[in-house]
Amino acid sequence: MHKFLPYAWFQGKCVPFEDARVSIATHSLHYGTAAFGGMRAIPDPNDTDSLLLFRLDKHARRLSQSARLLLTELKEDEIVQSLKAFLVINKPTNPIYIRPFVYTSDLGIAPRLHNIETDFLIYGLELGDYLSPEGVTCRISSWTRQEDRCLPLRGKISGAYITSSLAKTEAVLSGFDEALLLNSRGKISEASGMNLFLVRDGQLITPGVDQDILEGITRASVIEIAQEMGIRVVERSVDKTELFIADEVFLTGTAAKITPIRQIESTKLGSDRPIMARLRKKLVAITEGRDQDYRHWITRIKLNAI
């Protein structure tokens, strides 16, 4: 059972969560003409009156760019200011996941993006570990990741997540925790809602942005952290057989954070993950505001703000 925050940002103001309702005729409900973001916020360990947000500027920019792909304008500053108001009125005391959402709010029936009303909302819920930090099992999905020529994959477009939903359910119903999707060229793309990394011979490898992946913010952060640590990072195409012989394989995402993969199909992977462990320890320190070298990645929101 999800524990939603008591207030949502809806139609330009904070309202009780149960009052944030849309019509059954809402355009985006029928056509997937929406885009969303995902952010985590945690209470500041050193200040109970503050929340820490990880890379708020990057999240706001990606959502603004996603809105542009829907031919609508949602300014980064509007996202940030709405989010701050949303957090101040809710005053969460536990780690939360935040879902900002821009959507076509018109009640028309024609599939279109021109001459149509749009709106923006935010809601949140308490969230601990989305995936087990001890590791997950994965299968190669029978579903194929869409191509950028079919959908604007550099945005988090809601309609694209039908493939993720099919792949995730297929994996779970066949006894696995998560799905790995190939792209149309038969290369590894990503998981149902996470990016993928593997380690071979001390190198950190991840499918490049030309492999129809979502340009994940946690993914980009892990790459930057690894490079600062002196770990060589290679962005390229990845064959599925590489995963079976890799030294380490793990997933990254806002909800998943850094989660190891312990088995792919029938192949069990090694439990010694020194590079992943270093990266995860560093990322946790950053998100908790304990790493001064990365303090510019953290936004503190004072909950007693007027």
- Give, to the nearest 10 degrees, the angle between helix 217-228 and helix 274-287: 110
Please indicate, yes or no, if residue 300 is contained in any of the structural domains: no
| Model pLDDT, residue 183 | 98
Residue 134 tokens read as 């001890």
Please indicate, yes or no, if residue 296 is contained in any of the structural domains: no
Q: Are residues 142 and 249 in the same domain?
A: yes
Distance CA 121, CA 74 (A): 11
| Model pLDDT, residue 179 | 98
pLDDT digits (tens, 9 = 90+) for 212-228: 999 999 999 999 999 99
- The verdict on pTM exceeding 0.85 is yes
pLDDT digits (tens, 9 = 90+) for 284-297: 999 999 999 999 99
CATH of the domain at 254: 3.20.10.10
How many CA atoms lie within 13 Å of 175's alpha carbon, on the beta-carbon side?
Answer: 4
Q: Are residues 278 and 141 in the same domain?
A: yes
Q: Are residues 145 and 279 in the same domain?
A: yes
pLDDT digits (tens, 9 = 90+) for 117-166: 999 999 999 998 888 989 999 999 999 999 999 999 999 999 999 999 99
| Model pLDDT, residue 304 | 84
Q: Are residues 198 and 61 in the same domain?
A: no
Nearest to 212 by CA among 161, 153, 155: 153
Q: Are residues 141 and 275 in the same domain?
A: yes
Range of the structural domain that residue 36 is part of? 7-126
How many distinct structural domains can be found in the chain? 2
Residue 104 pLDDT exceeds 60: yes
Mean pLDDT of all residues in 83-109 = 96
| Model pLDDT, residue 48 | 82
Please indicate, yes or no, if residue 165 is contained in any of the structural domains: yes
Mean pLDDT of all residues in 42-51 = 91
Q: Are residues 154 and 249 in the same domain?
A: yes
| Model pLDDT, residue 305 | 60
| Model pLDDT, residue 279 | 98
Count the neighbouring beta carbons within 10 Å of the beta carbon of residue 113: 14
Q: Are residues 146 and 253 in the same domain?
A: yes
Query: Which band of pLDDT confidence, cut at 50, 70 and 90, is reported for residue 251?
Result: very high
Mean pLDDT of all residues in 171-197 = 98
CATH of the domain at 116: 3.30.470.10
Residue 257 pLDDT exceeds 70: yes
Q: Are residues 143 and 110 in the same domain?
A: no
Please indicate, yes or no, if residue 301 is contained in any of the structural domains: no
